[in-house]
Every structure is written in C-alpha cells, then in structure tokens.
Structure 1
Amino acid sequence: MSLKIGGTIEKVNGKELFYSEFAEKYLAGNQPVLLTGLMDDWTASKHWVSSNGQPNLLFFPTHFGKSKVQVADCDTREFTDQKRIEMSVSEFVNHWLQGSKGNHDVNGKSVLYLKDWHFVKEYPEYQAYITPLFFTDDWLNLYLDNYHMHDDLDADRVSNDISCSDYRFVYMGAKGSWTPLHADVFRSYSWNMKNTVYNIFDDISETEFPGFKKAIWLECIQEPNEIIFVPSGWYHQVHNLEDTISINHNWFNGYNLSWVWDLLLRDYKEAKEYIEDIKDICDDFEGLCQRNLAANTGMNFNDFFIFISRFSLANVVELYYLRGELNSESSIWHCSAIIKHFALNLSSIRKTALKMKSEGVEGNLSIINLLEALSDPKFLKLCTGLGRIYSVIHEEENWSCTMKKALMADFAMYGSQVCSPEDLITFIDYAVSKLSSNCDEQNPLLSVLYEIQPHEQNQHF
C-alpha cells in the first residue's frame, strides 16, 4: 500500500529545550518530536547495550530471567492485535538468540516481540533510567503508584488491564518485529526510547481503518539514544529495522485530560449499544455497561470521576499552601509559573467535569469525602509527589511531607463531600474564590481558570 508521506518529525536537542517551550509546542500543540541528548547518564544505556551498539541480551536472563512477560507473535493476528503468549525472560531471550531472518527465525517460527513488561514496578531498586523532565507531569503513573485505577477486587484478579500496576514498560524485539496501527491506551501521550531504529510499517487494512488512504503520514526513523514523543490520540505503527530494546511510558495530564474523557464516553456508548438487546431482562444494565467499560478500556465513569476529584483536591492543596507562603508577596503569587501550572490543571479538570455534567453523568458515582482524603496517607503521598514534580519542572521551592500535614489540618475548613461532576465544579469554584480573596493584583487563577481579563476580575466573585 502506498502511503502519503507528508513530512518528517522535527528533531530537537533536549538539552537546549526549555520545559515551557515543550509544553506549549508539543503538549498543548499535540505535535510529535524527536529529542536527543537526554540519555547520557542512564544505567540502561550502559548495561543493556553492548560495546558494538547491539542489545546486550545476555544481561537480561542473568539478572531478570525468571520474570514472566507477555510476548507478541508478530506473524499471528488475534482480533485487532497480535497473538500474545506468556514466557519467562530467559525463554524469550533464548528464542531470540536462535537467530532470525526477515519475519521468521531459522526454525520457521514467527519473530517474537516482548511487550508491556512492567519493569519499574517489578524491579524498583534497579534504576534503569531517569524519566526526562519533559515527561514528568504524569498524572496516570503518579496516581497508580498510590491507588488502583479500578477498585473492583474480583475484577482485578481476573484482568490486570482493569487495575494495571502502571504504564511504564520495557519492550524487546528482534529485527522485523513490529506493532500494528494503534492509538495509545486512554488516548494518552507516550514517550519512547530505543537502542536501535524503527520506521512505519504499512500493512494496513482500509476496511479496519476507513479513510486511511486519505491520511497524510509523518515518517520517522528513530536512531539509537533518541526519544520520540507521540502526541495524544495519534495513530502510529512501529517496525523495528534492527534488534531493539526500548522503554515506553504512557501518561496523561491537564493538557489531554478531556480527550481521555472523550474516549471513555465513546467506548461507553459502544459497550452500551453492543448489549442493548438484553437491557429489558438485565437487573442492573447500567452497572453491566460500566463493568464492561472498565474491562475494555481500563476504567469506567466512576474510576475516572474519583481520579479527577483526587487530583483537583491535590492541586488545590498545593495552591493553598503556596498562597499562604506568598501572601505577603502578591507580585510573586501572580507571576509564578508553578501557580499558573496548577491553575491550568484545575481549569482542565473543571472543563472535563462540565463535559461529564452535560452528558448527564450524575448517579452511581462514589462519594469523595474531602476531609477523609486530607488525612489519607495515600493522598498525602499523591500531594507530595505532585508538588515535588512541579517544583523540579519550574525550579521552585520543594516542600516537605511535614509541612504538607500542617497545611492539610488548616485546609480542613474547605471539606465537603463530592459525589457528582456538579459537586466537583462547585468545589473548584469555592476553593478558587478562597484562594483569590485579598488578591489585589492580576490573579493567575482567574485568568487561567475562567479566562477572565484583569479588568473583569473584580466582578467575578
């Protein structure tokens, strides 16, 4: 099939790029980019690569050989993906070392591709790499370090996809291994480094992807020690031109949160339509739709609502603390990059909650008790992690856990229950009104959250 190649992907030296530039051009702009110069000190670059630049395969069975991993058979399709089998890392590497030619090895077996290995979770003491600064505003993995995405314990035991431990993966594949055309989970962003190169593979079905022939593609060959940023919702396909070991994160944050909701709503409608014929005989049809949604997509409406509620409170906690620290210096308050970042997050959550409300999402949601959340050690850890990430991104003060506890005791006066998107919107508005009181100069919360100009701010509350 002939592809319409519309251009290449921009390549930028990551050492010369400011975070604000990356956020504006690539996160907010949702554009791809290749970044260089960000892997110099990685342990993986030393241990996982041989002196000749090829993957150091024997390192893996020696140190991680007993790990059980999912391996894709690149020559066998199963539904919209490739057939998966479970192997140990040692078994996988032994298969690889038998040698391969083209798309089949010497024994006529398909090339295998190790995918979705939760390496960070399995080996937390082995720091293979440091997440580049540009990708640290990662709500998804920060949340999963503290909570399950889906709290149905029975479902958790049935499917790891429902309560996934994280979305930080290692991939390993011989020359000729590939990944079918797809958009990433939750329509998340992804970043990916590879020790070798890859390219677009063009065996695509027009029936499965209507309009594919009209699409304009960007083509990219990713060289060793380069990191590619894949925008939210962009379909892509990977073909490994050489033996490859790669690290991949999927994540989302305030810049693409609303797209996560859009996907969830679309998948819900499809799940509901699929079983519409049993609606009249089902005792809990909506509950069944939500369970199917969680199984297919990785979360349901309730999971997503809890997620954005906790993050809204965490962002307010950080802002409230900063307001207390900077109260006597309002000029710092209104020009601080970190405050504007928290305001952008709240704006994104509020707009997403408005979308949920417009779709009539009200019932069957968990009650979030804000006072209880403020005393929850997991939530405290979430707040601390969020503050630490943004203090590094914006090179501003970091705060200790002890200071956070003192803040939360003072913050208890804001406490109330949140049990619907409308409640969440009300809470955000209330918190912003408190944070904006006695602010004489231009208020970044109002200008970012409600897009209000300075001369209009006095009339808003």
Structure 2
Amino acid sequence: MKVPVANCDEKYYNVQKKSDIQLSDYLKYWQNYSSKSHSDLPCLYLKDWHFTQDFPEENIYRTPKYFASDWLNEYYSAKTSIRDDYRFVYMGPKGSWTPLHADVFTSFSWSVNVCGRKRWLLFPPGEELCLQDRFGQLIYDATAPELQDEKKYPRYKELCSSEEIIQETGEAIFIPSGWHHQVWNLVSILKFTYFFYDILIKKHFIFLRNFTVIYCLCLYFRKIQYQ
C-alpha cells in the first residue's frame, strides 16, 4: 500500500515536495531516522493519508461530539461514486513540520494527537497579509529571518496578532476557518485530522475577528480529551 509523504527538507513552490511510497518502506525509514543521527536522511512526513478509505472496516476511532456535524465529509460518504474525503492520518518523526497555510476550501478543522507533541503558530484572518511579500506571495516559513527585509515584506511590521499553542497527547485542537497556521512536531507523532463544514459554527465565527476571543476558544477545544 502506498501512502503520501512530504519531504520537509525540500521546498516545491510554496509547499513541501510530496511523493507516494510504500507504507512498509516509510515505517522502516521512520525507525532508522529515529534511531540514528539521521544526518544523511531527509525528514519525511506522512500526511494527508485517507486511512478510512483504505481501511473502511476498521472502526478505530469516533468523531468527538463537538465536531460531529460535518456536511463536507457527509457528502463524500453519501456520494459513493466519488472516492474522496477530508479525513486524514498524519504521522512522522521529531522535526517534521508543515509550512504556513490556511486549510483547504477555507474549511474548519480539528486535530487529535493520538501520541506526540505539536507546536502550533496561529494567525487570525487578515494577519496573513502582513506575511506576504510585495508580490502577494505568502511566506513559506513564518519564522524565517527574511521577513525582516522591509523591501521584500513591506507589511511585516504591521503584524499585530499571533499565538503559540502546544498540543499534547490526547488533546484536540479546533482551527477556525481562514486562520493561517504553521505546525512543528516536537516529538514523533500520530494524529487524526478532519477538515469540515458546519453551518452553525460558520454562522457564529463568520463575524469574529478578535484574536483573544478565538484564541480562548482554541484553548477550550484543545482541552477536550479524545475518547
């Protein structure tokens, strides 16, 4: 079985270069990478794996009740002629990461750490404009020193709001629509992620742009223990 893997050391346009490799080969790589100095190995991150499609008979988890309303994935579940969904498994070694981005279709998302520890850097809607270069291209790495170059990133000094969250094993985090974020794996991790739409959540969040309000909600959701 092949799974999608991103090379965290290789930039491809404004994302990480991805390829499909055998799951067994990735697990062997991960073991070698974690047990050695790995100076000669790239940092590979298994991400966006449609696990529930590959193993539909394996009911290994259930969606937390707070995120149960999800008409995006309900559509794909009902549309049997289309083999797609937005429910993913991620796994990777310490040091793997995901560059700055907003979630697909400006959807909401939730993620649960089955094991591991993650660092999230979050930017409320509108702040991403301060992270774009003079041509409107979003920075690849929100911690890059090149942001200090005023000629290339003229609005960076206008950046007002950002916050970090450390997500521990067994915790869930909710990311509202339109929030840009960058994520690092502080140790080896395994997590489930859903991208979803819920009209009731959309109604409540569409007018919220105050960072303190939404950050407090993020803190609330991250305390939900996965059951």
State TM-score, norm by structure 1.
0.36
The SS at the match of 1:99 is helix
Secondary structure of 1:131's counterpart equals coil
* Contact 1:188 1:256 (C-alpha < 8 Å) held by counterparts: no
C-alpha RMSD of the superposition: 2.7
Counterpart of 1:165?
84
One-letter code of the match for 2:62? Answer: I
**What amino acid maps onto 1:129 in structure 2?**
Y
Q: Counterpart amino acid of 1:203?
A: T
Structure with the bigger RCO (C-alpha within 8 Å, sep 6+) is 2
Could you tell me which amino acid in structure 2 is paired with residue 147 of structure 1? Answer: K
Give the C-alpha shift of residue 88 in structure 1. Answer: 1.2
Distance in 2 between the 1:253 and 1:217 partners? 25
Asked whether 1:253 is paired with 2:198, we answer yes
Mark the CA change 1:120 to 1:211 in structure 2 (over 3 Å): closer, same or farther: farther
Tell me how far 1:80 sits from its aligned partner. Answer: 1.1
Q: Who is 2:164 aligned against? A: 219
Cα–Cα, structure 1 residues 221 and 87, in superposed 2: closer, same or farther, change >3 Å? same
Do 2:120 and 2:167's aligned partners in 1 also have CA atoms closer than 8 Å?
no
Identity of aligned residues (%): 40
Gap change, CA 1:209 and 1:124, over 3 Å in 2: farther
Q: In structure 2, what is the Cα distance between the partners aligned to 1:110 and 1:168?
A: 26
Instruction: Note if 1:203 corresponds to 2:143.
Output: yes
For the 8 Å contact 1:73–1:113, the answer to whether it is kept is yes
> Which position in structure 2 is the counterpart of 1:244?
189
* 1:23 aligned partner: none
Judged with a 3 Å threshold, the aligned counterparts in structure 2 of structure 1 residues 75 and 224 are, in CA distance, closer, same or farther, namely same
Superposed CA offset, 1:293-322 (max 9, x none): xxxxxxxxxxxxxxxxxxxxxxxxxxxxxx
The aligned length equals: 178
Aligned to 2:6: 72
Out of 20, 23, 30, which is 1:89 matched to? 23
Among candidates 41, 47, 70, match of residue 115 of structure 1: 47
Q: Gaps (5+ residues) in structure 2?
A: 122-141, 207-227
Q: Decide whether the 8 Å contact of 2:3 with 2:20 is kept in 1.
A: yes
Write the deviation string for residues 210-244 of structure 1: whole angstroms up to 9, x where unpaired.
Answer: 74551411111111100011111100111000000
Q: Greater strand share, 1 or 2?
A: 2
Report the Cα distance in structure 2 between the residues aligned to 1:164 and 1:235, rounded to whole angstroms: 28
Q: Which residue of 1 aligns with 2:70?
A: 138
Deviations 1:338-361 (A, max 9, x none): xxxxxxxxxxxxxxxxxxxxxxxx
CA positional deviation for 1:249: 0.2
8 Å Cα contact 1:100-1:111 kept in structure 2: no
Residues 211 and 227 of structure 1, relative CA distance in 2, 3 Å threshold: farther
1:256 CA displacement: 2.7
2:111 corresponds to which residue? Answer: 192
- Deviation per CA, 1:131-153: give whole Å up to 9, x if none: 011101101000011227xx9xx
**Distance (whole Å) between structure 2 residues aligned to residue 87 and residue 105 of structure 1:** 23
Give the TM-score taking structure 2 as reference length.
0.71
**Could you report, residue by residue, the CA deviation over 1:148-207 in whole angstroms, capped at 9, with x for unpaired residues?**
7xx9xxxxxxxxxxx660000000010000000110001111100111111146534648
Structure 2: distance between partners of 1:105 and 1:226: 30
Counterpart mapping for 1:361-372 below 5 A: none
Max Rg structure = 1
Which of 145, 168, 173 pairs up with 1:228?
Answer: 173
* Aligned match of 1:174: 93
